[in-house]
Structure 1
Amino acid sequence: MEAGQYHPRADIRMEARMRLRRCAAAWLEPREVAAFQLDDLMAGGTGVVSRLAWFAHAPHLSAAVEVQASQVPVLGAVGPLDWVERADLDARFGADAVDALLHAALLLPQPDGEDASADARFRAQGWHPASAVAHIATRWEGVDGPKGMAEQDLDSNEGLLRKHGAPPPHAMPSADPQADVLLPRVDRDAFDGLLDTRATCRNYDTEAAVPLATFSQLMARVFGARGIGHPAPGFDVYKRTSPSGGSLHPTDCFLIVQRVDGIAPGLYRYRIDTHALEPVAPLVAPPQPGDAGTEPLGDAAPRAWNSDELRAFARIAVAGQDFFADAPVLCVLAPRFRRNFWKYRNHAKAYRVCVLDAGHLSQTLQLCATQAGLGPFVTGAINEVDLERAFGMAACEQSPLAVCGFGKRAATLVTSEFDPNRRLWPRE
């Protein structure tokens, strides 16, 4: 369980006068769980036995928890707002069921003073429940994406075609081609040339560093403040070169800096208010080459990482995509949800706006990096949990949605890049 969650005491069943309520958001999933059983194999079966299990997804928990079928009605009988007497629940459903749900932090006791639980922190954010469940449930930890794809023979188009057949067509057929309105052809200009050279980079020069002036310009153009407004007392809004719902710009840029002239390699947070980098002390043990995920720091004090450890963390960040981990600079786009939900509280579209926010910033970075003569990338295949752990984020308060980056392209094409117009390869 995460820090701040309720940890039941040994004498919890003695507190018959305790008042309880359900956690703020919960989704119950009936899931078929398969397990190997030797007895089944010895009896002539396959050895794989399935059972139907219930799992509760709650955004304030780090992972879904299994609950017994007999406990499901309890969650349906207790609301997330009003406190109810535990004795009444014990009488209706049994003390064992109530105990189990308390231990799982799906039922919560009324606190004597200020509520510092993870559920209370979640309530303060203003999440729409369905969005919160989807966000928490789809985060990765310690995933090596390319390895998993290769094991399934899905790391190539041929493997995908064998397994799934042809993809849907790139364009749906016209209902009436004769009625289509053809647009006039346009003359290409220099901006079209820039757009045509904007392609995802998968081959970075692992020796080249980004010049400090170029790095500073990209940070200012993409993540910096272009202006500031004061629509109300105590309410400041910044203007960036990308749009943002409500002009709130909730997305912070955390950085994995590997090779920038004049900047020590390490973890940073870009500050929009001062156009500066705030060093971040890693809150995980130094990763080692080949690691798929991070390990807790434990009792050790945070320290600066060497280049191999930083590269290992970059690889974890992008879920094993080595070609992206070689980039000199990786930008972790992580919204502070409360900044957005302050205006769009418990709003069904608020989380979608956060996703769009990260998308806008990533594409502005793609264009600006291309104009600067650098190769950009953006990926959603990331290990959010490992990034949260290293940068000290709480998932329901701030969480990565994408990682993008940039740097000098290598002189040799090793990993294929989609460059159908041959604007980038072969390199001169």
Structure 2
Amino acid sequence: MNTQEQIAANRDFCKSPFAQEREPSDQQKRLPQPPLCKPAQSEQRIALSRDFRPVMTETDFLTILQNRTSQRFYKDEEMTLDQLSFLLWATQGVKSIRGNHYATLRTVPSGGARHPFETYLAVRKVTGLCAGVYHYLPLEHALEPVGPLENPQEQITAAMHGQKWAGGCAVAFLYSFVPYRAEWRYSTSAHRVALIDAGHVVQNLYLACEAVGCGTCAVAAIDQEVADALCRVDGKDEFIVYAAPVGLSDPEKNREGNRKMYAQTILESNAVKPLEK
């Protein structure tokens, strides 16, 4: 497949397939439903607070919307565990369970209430947590450790496809997609729906960050193999699809960092020779 054929195929992927005839889904075939969440892989737990009011620095919604911006450069200080707890709840928190464990209702919308994502954290500077990778357990509102990070700044940068600013975060959110959780209901239409849902999740993260004095910038340009290996996922039945470094907000540092980054981008683009006609 050449480039133009690949572009055409990708455009078709973006179109709604729901009016087309398709094979019955596994749900329609009455096959067993997959788990609502990935089962915990260890017995260790880090409990998270549900008392969010003390960490809220901004509660006016209009102000939060007005102030929302992508932030790539942060204070080189620790976030608190309670700030992190709020961000996790705001993006994947479970409010209730529908039916006999049929679906979870969460703080974000999801097609068919499938919520086919898992949240992993690459922690660099969070009070009370060692540098390492953690997995969020939304039904318990708790964390389980996945493994240590020997050099979190370099490892986060590598997972973000070499974007050095990302390594300066306090914690990087990495969202994995568990395909069958959505495929069970939507079959071949599941993947487009899931990518739309990923946007809902990270937009909540942006707004939640503004409410607790933090900032984030979503990253689609991840290194797939590095990010999957970092989170210990298999790359087939679960793989990373989106990421978002987070840190304590520093507006002046962010403005200056962005100015330098954009200036460098312009220099590099001017250095590229135009294609000969």
C-alpha contact 2:78 2:125 (8 A) present in aligned 1: yes
Secondary structure, counterpart of 1:404 in structure 2: strand
Q: In the alignment, what sits opposite 2:149? A: 305
Give CA-to-partner distance per residue, 1:102-141, whole Å, 9 cap, x none.
Answer: xxxxxxxxxxxxxxxxxxxxxx9xxxxxxxxxxxxxxxxx
Give 1:229's match in structure 2, choosing from 82, 91, 98: 98
Q: Distance in 2 between matches of 1:270 and 1:196?
A: 29
Whichever of the two has the greater Rg, that structure is 1
Verify: 1:366 aligned to 2:235, yes or no: no
Give CA-to-partner distance per residue, 1:143-194, whole Å, 9 cap, x none.
Answer: xxxxxxxxxxxxxxxxxxxxxxxxxxxxxxxxxxxxxxxxxxxxxxx43322
Give CA-to-partner distance per residue, 1:360-401, whole Å, 9 cap, x none.
Answer: 100001001111111121110111111112322222311111
Secondary structure, counterpart of 1:267 in structure 2: strand
Q: Distance in 2 between matches of 1:387 and 1:202?
A: 19
The structure with higher relative contact order (CA 8 Å, sep 6+) is 2
| Counterpart residue type for residue 149 of structure 2 | W
Q: In the alignment, what sits opposite 2:258? A: 416
C-alpha contact 2:133 2:230 (8 A) present in aligned 1: no
Give 1:389's match in structure 2, choosing from 226, 229, 232: 229
| Counterpart residue type for residue 212 of structure 1 | L
C-alpha contact 1:204 1:323 (8 A) present in aligned 2: no
Q: In the alignment, what sits opposite 1:275? A: 141
| Counterpart residue type for residue 198 of structure 1 | R
Give 1:407's match in structure 2, choosing from 229, 247, 251: 247
* Aligned-pair CA distance for 1:30: 6.3
Q: In the alignment, what sits opposite 1:293? A: none
- Structure 1: stretches of 5+ with no match in the other structure: 1-28, 32-123, 125-189, 282-303, 418-428
Q: In the alignment, what sits opposite 2:23? A: none
Q: In the alignment, what sits opposite 1:191? A: 61
| Counterpart residue type for residue 392 of structure 1 | R
Verify: 1:341 aligned to 2:210, yes or no: no
Q: Quote the sequence identity (%).
A: 26
| Counterpart residue type for residue 401 of structure 1 | V
Q: Distance in 2 between matches of 1:336 and 1:385?
A: 16
Verify: 1:211 aligned to 2:80, yes or no: yes
* Aligned-pair CA distance for 1:340: 0.6
Q: Where do 1:48-63 residues align within 5 Å?
A: none
Q: Distance in 2 between matches of 1:305 and 1:384?
A: 18
Q: Distance in 1 between matches of 2:93 and 2:156?
A: 24
C-alpha contact 2:160 2:227 (8 A) present in aligned 1: no
Q: Distance in 1 between matches of 2:210 and 2:80?
A: 15
> What is the count of residue pairs matched by the alignment?
203
* Aligned-pair CA distance for 1:319: 1.1
Q: In the alignment, what sits opposite 1:326? A: 168
Q: Distance in 2 between matches of 1:195 and 1:225?
A: 24
Verify: 1:350 aligned to 2:190, yes or no: yes
Give 2:157's match in structure 1, choosing from 289, 303, 315: 315
Secondary structure, counterpart of 2:246 in structure 1: strand
User: RMSD between aligned alpha carbons?
Assistant: 2.1
Q: In the alignment, what sits opposite 1:75? A: none
| Counterpart residue type for residue 154 of structure 2 | A
Q: Distance in 2 between matches of 1:405 and 1:240?
A: 22
Q: In the alignment, what sits opposite 2:114? A: 248
* Aligned-pair CA distance for 1:325: 2.0
Secondary structure, counterpart of 1:396 in structure 2: coil
C-alpha contact 2:152 2:167 (8 A) present in aligned 1: no
Verify: 1:257 aligned to 2:126, yes or no: no
Verify: 1:375 aligned to 2:215, yes or no: yes
* Aligned-pair CA distance for 1:268: 0.8
Q: Distance in 1 between matches of 2:199 and 2:97?
A: 22
Q: Distance in 1 between matches of 2:183 and 2:225?
A: 22
| Counterpart residue type for residue 205 of structure 1 | K
| Counterpart residue type for residue 181 of structure 2 | R
Q: Where do 1:7-46 residues align within 5 Å?
A: 29=1
Report the TM-score, using the length of structure 1 for normalisation. 0.45
Report the TM-score, using the length of structure 2 for normalisation. 0.68
Q: Distance in 2 between matches of 1:280 and 1:403?
A: 17
| Counterpart residue type for residue 329 of structure 1 | V
Q: Distance in 2 between matches of 1:329 and 1:352?
A: 28
| Counterpart residue type for residue 352 of structure 1 | R
